[in-house]
Amino acid sequence: MESYEINLKNANPTIENTFLTWNMQKNWNPIKITDANGVYFTDSYGKSYLDMSSQLMCSNLGHGNKRIINSIKNQAEKLAFIAPSFDTDIREEVSGKLRTVLPDNLTKYFYGTSGTEANEAAIKIARMYMAKEHKNKIISFYNSYHGSTLGSLQLTGDYRRKLTDSYHSASGFLKVAPPSCYHCPFNLKYPECNMACLNNIEYTIKNEGNIAAIIIEPVTGTNGVVIPPEGFLHELRRITEENNVLLIADEVMTGFCRTGEWFAVNHWKIKPDILTTAKGITGAYAPLSLTAVDKKISDFFNDNIFAHGHTYEAHPLVLAAASAAIDEYKDKNILENVRKLSKLFSGRLNELREKHISVGDVRSIGLFGAVELVKDRNNKTPFNTSDDKIEGKPMIVNKIAKYAMEHGVYLNTWLSHFIVAPPLIINEDELNSGFDVIDDALKISDMEIKI
């Protein structure tokens, strides 16, 4: 009994009692974070880190925002929870504010608590609506990520779906090649390719049959900030309209000013039938997601049951965070700051590619960027693959991130690239200081090539 009590005292309850997601649990030794303010967060030893990835590309408004915090406090004192069948002042308030920032065809909303839930709702809504056409299949893209629950994981095109396919799968989901010019699935080059990826999509729709919807991240998020070639989204919208297929835009990561527009689809003036978002809707101060639908879809449910719901749908506390966050985006001119810094941001990324032999490609839009590492530029050979991740092998990007953290900069890493997506309140000096550390860190991957 004595040894058991001693072990309990010495154990870290976080490690012992909770899971580290998408990783093996051995060797997890997390840094304890105790405070955060602005574009920095601080560990239990008092060391501060510049947040160059907005945590999970979600802390768009930085840390410690008093307006959002006070909004949550005030709502908690007024009405902390009520069943979603009731109306509330905060629900009316947020819905009204969303009308001013969303594409104007999206007029009815479902509030969940995560991007995963937003995409689950989109799947069900699309299938319920398209059942009248006897359509239920949904197309998504390889190299995508849409969530971790049953339906949203089937939409996902990266390796995380394969990890659970043997015991966690569902029917009615198809994948197509993504519009990824750096790693073109057809080994072609834009614009001579005539966007063969689009031809593949249209061919799939016409020959598969029963396609209810296609879901796309207008700019691919975690899997590398892949920006579609000019004209792609316009043609995709044309294809979906001509074939009576719904277009779902997953803007969980790109929404709320991240790319220099309120939503990434605005860059191409595309109006999706369904749009999903989360993360930036509250600046990550509270877990809220949104599934917004076109009026033709919402009208359908006037005389058909909307067969979906959650206990925490339209939760007053998280809606209070969203209300304040939307005001902050507007009052602090966040869009203007993103647009002003985007030239510096892309310029610093391009400098990394020119300076470091291990950088194969850089991509960015607004304050959303990725640095892709390769050990062979000519063949675009990555340092690591998903198989390395699954097998627990050392990853070059983790070495880069470790060096950056040691020098006060946090980066979110993936397989052979890392994401640069700082809080949208960042200033020019802070941005440059973050890039200076990244520049130094990339000497590590350069040395791997020389060896």
CA 101, CA 226: separation in Å to the nearest integer? 24
> What does CATH list as the number for 66-331?
3.40.640.10
Cα dihedral across residues 302, 106, 329, 251: positive or negative:
positive
The CA-atom distances, in angstroms, between 231 and each of 7, 195, 205, 224, 374 are: 61, 9, 19, 20, 28
10-residue averages of pLDDT along the chain (451 residues): 42 87 86 97 97 98 98 98 98 98 98 96 97 96 86 79 68 93 95 95 96 98 95 98 98 98 98 98 98 98 96 98 98 98 98 98 98 95 89 92 98 95 98 98 93 57
CA 299, CA 296: separation in Å to the nearest integer? 5
**Sheet containing 173-176: order of strands:** 106-112, 289-294, 274-277, 246-250, 211-216, 137-141, 173-176
Note if the pTM is more than 0.85. Answer: yes
Task: Classify residue 83 by burial, with Cβ atoms within 10 Å: 0-12, 13-18, 19+.
Answer: exposed
Instruction: Tell me what pLDDT residue 155 has.
Output: 82
Residues forming a β-bridge with 363: 370
Q: How far is CA 404 from the centre of its chain?
A: 22
Instruction: Tell me what pLDDT residue 26 has.
Output: 87
Of the candidates 51, 20, 19, the residue with the CA atom closest to the CA atom of residue 35: 51
Instruction: Classify domain 2-61+333-450 at the CATH class level.
Output: alpha beta
Does the N-terminal peptide bond of residue 218 adopt cis geometry, omega within 30 degrees of 0? no
Parse the chain into domains and list their residue ranges.
2-61+333-450, 66-331
Instruction: Tell me what pLDDT residue 350 has.
Output: 98
